[in-house]
Amino acid sequence: MNLISINIYIDRIQFEVFSIDNGKRNNVLQNEIKIPISFSMGDKLEYIRKFMSMIINRNKVKKAYLNINDKLEVYTIKIEGIIEEVLSSYGVEICN
């Protein structure tokens, strides 16, 4: 089973897909999404939705961990919401 750890910042999203076998963590994919400054808010959210959908679907992610690093920004709350929507649509369990 693959898991994903997602770190949300105001200008990027860092993520790491990994699996745990016999108590050992095996990294599958580690990267970040730079959020284009020139996009409108709606386009930014659609960009994030499409990118995260692709990552979750291709890597068969079953559980996710979300970390918000810029908590006081309304923008990061919107990003968190769109990511939670994508995770939910793929049946991914969000863990604390």
17 in Cβ contact with 3 (< 8 Å): yes
- Say what the pLDDT of residue 21 is: 87
Report the number of distinct structural domains present in the chain. Answer: 1
Confidence of residue 72 (pLDDT cuts 50, 70, 90): low
The per-residue pLDDT for range 9-66, each reduced to its tens digit, is 988 999 999 998 888 899 999 999 999 999 999 999 999 999 999 999 999 999 999 9
Cα–Cα distances in angstroms (integers) from residue 44 to residues 2, 13, 14, 50, 62, in the given order: 26, 12, 15, 10, 25
Structural domain containing residue 24? 2-95
CATH number at residue 39: 3.30.420.10
- Say what the pLDDT of residue 13 is: 94
Confidence of residue 77 (pLDDT cuts 50, 70, 90): confident
d(C-alpha 66, C-alpha 64), whole Å? 7
